[in-house]
Amino acid sequence: MEWSFQSAEELAAALRVGAVTSVELTEEAIARIERDDKVINAICVPDFDRARAAARAADQARARGEDRPLLGIPVTVKECYNIAGLPTTWGMPAQRDYVPAQDAVQVSRLKTAGAVVLGKTNVPLMLRDIQSFNEIYGTTNNPWDHGRTPGGSSGGSAAALACGFGALSLGSDLAGSLRTPAHFCGVYAHKPTLGLAPTRGMVAPPAPTLPTDLDLAVVGPMARTARDLALLLDVMAGPDPLTHGVAYDVALPPARHERLADFRVLIIEDHPLIPTGSAVRAGVNRVAEALVGEGARVERRSPLLPDLTEAATLYMLLMLSNAAAGISVDVYEQLQTHAAALSADDRSLDAVRRRGMVLSHRGWVEANNRRELHRHGWRQLFAEFDAVVCPITPTPAFPHDHNGGLESRHIDIDGVEYPYFDQLVWAGVATMPGLPATAIPAGLSPEGLPVGVQLIGPMFSDRTPLRLAELLEQKIGGFQTPPQLPLASVQAGHARDAQNNSV
Rounded distance between C-alpha atoms, residue 211 and residue 453, angstroms: 32
Domain contains 316: yes
| 408 and 339 in a common domain | no
What length is written for the chain? 503
How confident is the model at residue 486, as a pLDDT? 60
Q: Which of 153, 154, 445, 461 is catalytic?
A: 153
| 220 and 77 in a common domain | yes
Q: Which of 177, 321, 461, 489 is catalytic?
A: 177
Determine whether 475 is an active site residue: no
| pLDDT tens-digit map of 140-150 | 999 999 999 99
**3 state DSSP class of 438:** strand
| 12 and 69 in a common domain | yes
Domain limits at 319? 308-378
Are the C-beta atoms of 387 and 263 separated by less than 8 Å?
yes
Last residue of a domain, one of 337, 358, 378: 378
| 372 and 449 in a common domain | no
Phi, psi torsion values for 90, nearest 5 degrees:
55, 25
Rounded distance between C-alpha atoms, residue 15 and residue 434, angstroms: 37
| pLDDT tens-digit map of 196-219 | 999 999 999 999 999 999 999 999
**3 state DSSP class of 391:** strand
Domain contains 486: no
Q: DSSP per residue over 1-32, as a string? A: ---TTS-HHHHHHHHHTTSS-HHHHHHHHHHH
Tell me which of 119-128, 274-283, 317-326 is least confident. Answer: 317-326
Domain contains 487: no
Question: To the nearest whole percent, how much of the chain has pLDDT over 90?
Answer: 90
Domain contains 186: yes
Q: What is the pTM of this model?
A: 0.95
Q: Which of 7, 78, 157, 461 is catalytic?
A: 78
How confident is the model at residue 177, as a pLDDT? 98
User: Structural domain tally of the chain?
Assistant: 2
Determine whether 177 is an active site residue: yes
Q: How far is CA 380 from CA 42, 304, 372, 466, in A?
A: 41, 7, 13, 21
> How does residue 484 score in pLDDT terms, banded at 50, 70 and 90?
confident
Q: Smallest Cα–Cα separation from 287: which of 455, 414, 456?
A: 455
Domain contains 499: no
| 421 and 373 in a common domain | no
